[in-house]
Amino acid sequence: MKIQFNPDTLQFTYDHNLWSSAFWIFRSAPKIIVFSLVLFLSSNGKKCFAGSAGTTSFTFLKQIVPARPLGMGGAFVAVADDASTIYYNPAGLANIDKMEISATYFKSFIDTRYSCLNYMQPIDYDGIFGKGITSLGLSMIAFNGGKMDVALTNEDGTFKDNYTLTAEEDLALTLSYGELLGNFSSGMHYLGVNLSTIRSTLVEQYNAETWSSDIGWLYCSRQDNFHLGFSIRNLGPKVSYIEASESLPKTRMLGGMYKFRLNNWDIMGVLDVVKAIDSDQYYNWGFEIKPLKAIAFRFGGYNGSYNLGPLTTGFSVLTKSYQMDYAFISGHDIGEQHRITFTIKRSFMSLPTEKYIVPPKL
């Protein structure tokens, strides 16, 4: 077996026998994901959809981490055209024909910190529906709740000792799959699923673990100027740290996207209708304006949790292979926040198959 690396193109070339012996994992993963999801929902269906508005656990899952969606007010379920779609709508994975890796890290209010890493790759698999456009994705979201000081006292109330604990540590690992459902005269329909394992630790003592799933659908018109998207996120059983159990922050999102040109500027408008189990229905909206191929500006209105304020803004600097997204938000409770996401868009691996191409548009 032989592996060669070309420093000029940043590409690895693998011997075909190596792929034959190792790539079976990627070919098998879609069936494993769908089969596991069916079993999971069948055995926990009532628990997944149980609950009413109120307190939920694992609230870090509601945070908008990537910078590009946040710059458009968090409206992204119908855009679904980069690695951030793992978080919003896994169906969008199959609408991307290149490998993408994106990374985000930012400090939130006080000393809390978020980090996110997304990876997606088209795969050599005909798909459950046999259309031949399929992709897999991996995602990691980590949250650190910062430090807290704990003071110990004697029985008479006098000071005894003090120490520092991590208030909260959360981690979510997600395996995603998306494929082309149908290629019709009106446009393309995509379907996607996520399976996640989630772990949370409070004050370094109390642990909670669970599984969750997401389901997404995406429609793209033939001209690719109009998208519709729908997803249901964080489906799963209730979880508990000690005794009392709480629901996951189950969320339903329906969105639309429309693109047009005005004076040689590419303009995209987006709107999402969001209903979470622990809040009333709200709307996120945004615009992305590209006066040049290498620059994009964004603004939007975010109405969800964390009281971020009425407006978000952002911009991108992008090339064919790389992209940097920046977003700025200001809220009454959390102050100002700056967020940056870096993305690589190119194939590091030369697959022993023909290039993946999205069905041509009429």
For 242-286, write each residue's pLDDT tens digit: 777 888 899 999 999 999 999 899 999 999 999 988 888 889 999
Query: Is residue 357 situated within a structural domain?
Result: no
Query: Is residue 47 situated within a structural domain?
Result: yes
Query: Is residue 333 situated within a structural domain?
Result: no
Cβ–Cβ under 8 Å, residues 308 and 329: yes
Q: What average pLDDT does range 123-148 have in this prediction?
A: 88
User: pLDDT tens digits for 194-238?
Assistant: 999 999 988 888 888 999 999 999 999 988 999 999 999 999 998
Query: Is residue 302 situated within a structural domain?
Result: no
pTM over 0.85: no
Range of the structural domain that residue 253 is part of = 3-291+345-350
Query: Is residue 296 situated within a structural domain?
Result: no
Query: Is residue 332 situated within a structural domain?
Result: no
Q: What average pLDDT does range 35-39 have in this prediction?
A: 46
Alpha-carbon span 176 to 166, nearest angstrom: 30
Domain count, the chain: 1
Would you say residue 355 has pLDDT above 90?
no
CA angle at 53 for the pair 74 and 167, rounded to the nearest 5°: 70
Alpha-carbon span 295 to 292, nearest angstrom: 5
The amino acid at 259: K
User: pLDDT tens digits for 321-338?
Assistant: 999 999 998 764 556 788
pLDDT of residue 113: 87
Query: Is residue 116 situated within a structural domain?
Result: yes
Query: Is residue 299 situated within a structural domain?
Result: no
pLDDT of residue 136: 94
Q: What is the DSSP letter of 296?
A: E
CA angle at 178 for the pair 174 and 179, rounded to the nearest 5°: 165
Residue 130, SS3 per DSSP: coil
pLDDT of residue 354: 41
